[in-house]
Amino acid sequence: MSAERPEDHQTTVRVRGETLREPDSKSPPPAEEKGGHKPLRKELSEARLQMQHRLPVLDDDHDIGIEKAHTVVRDGKADLSFTGTLLASAAPAAAPTGQWQEYRIYATTGGKHVFSKVTRNVLAETQDSHEAEVFDPSPSSMPSQLLRSARDLTRSRPMDWADAAVAFFGYDPLAKSLYQKFDGQFEEHIA
């Protein structure tokens, strides 16, 4: 009968070509390597691993089309709280590198749109990043009205929420999958 080794109690995951191990709670702490250095060991977030396994389904997909209170987290800025509807969301079908983005578009009851981009990573030590912007079709402050007027003069038509979404998300494959949920509203029609 062979003795159990500590690595027998670990889950191994390959992320970006690197092997990551999630220690079992019964495993002893790793022994120090020669020279007094601890071996490199990255712990995985169990909650984010579960999110990754459910992709492209997101936790709030069941809220699409339902008016309710929302809070959209933003890094380095105040979070956005509003009542409105989640219009659409998109996530990749898989995240083999352990990192992925989630895109969401909301419409507020006040007629504004909120665009949200969340970047997630399965590593426990890595924080998720949150970006969000608000598109107000009728800005109330004088500086924002002047900026909007100057921008509208250079365009053949005023900017609408779809233009603002493209300015925020761009045209990467995930953004295009988000736009497809709006029945051709984001397609460029030419004659």
In a domain, residue 149? The reply is yes
In a domain, residue 19? The reply is yes
Q: Helix (H, G, I), strand (E, B), or coil: what is residue 148?
A: helix
Cα(102)–Cα(48) distance, rounded to whole angstroms?
13
**pLDDT values of the chain reduced to their tens digit, one per residue, 191 residues:** 545 544 444 455 544 444 444 544 444 444 455 555 555 668 999 999 999 999 999 999 999 999 999 999 999 999 999 999 999 999 999 999 999 999 999 999 999 999 999 999 999 999 999 999 999 987 665 555 555 555 555 556 678 999 999 999 999 999 999 999 998 888 887 88
Asked whether residue 25 falls in the same domain as residue 66, the answer is no
What is the pLDDT, as a whole number, of residue 90? 97
Asked whether residue 177 falls in the same domain as residue 126, the answer is yes
Cα(1)–Cα(146) distance, rounded to whole angstroms?
79
Q: Helix (H, G, I), strand (E, B), or coil: what is residue 30?
A: coil
Domain residue limits at 60: 50-182
Asked whether residue 105 falls in the same domain as residue 154, the answer is yes
Asked whether residue 87 falls in the same domain as residue 105, the answer is yes
Question: Among 21, 92, 1, which Cα is nearest to 51's?
Answer: 92
Helices (H) and strands (E) in the chain, counts: 4, 7
What is the pLDDT, as a whole number, of residue 8? 47
What is the pLDDT, as a whole number, of residue 50? 94
Tally of structural domains, the chain: 2
Cα(62)–Cα(104) distance, rounded to whole angstroms?
13
The radius of gyration of the chain's CA atoms, rounded to the nearest angstrom, is 22
Tell me the CA distances in angstroms from 157 to 26, 89, 109, 152, 153, one per residue in order. 64, 27, 25, 6, 8
Cα(153)–Cα(138) distance, rounded to whole angstroms?
16
Asked whether residue 126 falls in the same domain as residue 39, the answer is no
Residue 135 burial class via C-beta count within 10 angstroms: exposed 0-12, middle 13-18, buried 19 and up: buried
In a domain, residue 151? The reply is yes
Asked whether residue 28 falls in the same domain as residue 58, the answer is no
In a domain, residue 86? The reply is yes
Cβ(134)–Cβ(141) under 8 Å?
Answer: no
In a domain, residue 188? The reply is no
Cα(58)–Cα(95) distance, rounded to whole angstroms?
13
In a domain, residue 191? The reply is no
The 10 Å Cβ neighbour count of residue 106 is 22
Asked whether residue 114 falls in the same domain as residue 174, the answer is yes
Asked whether residue 138 falls in the same domain as residue 122, the answer is yes
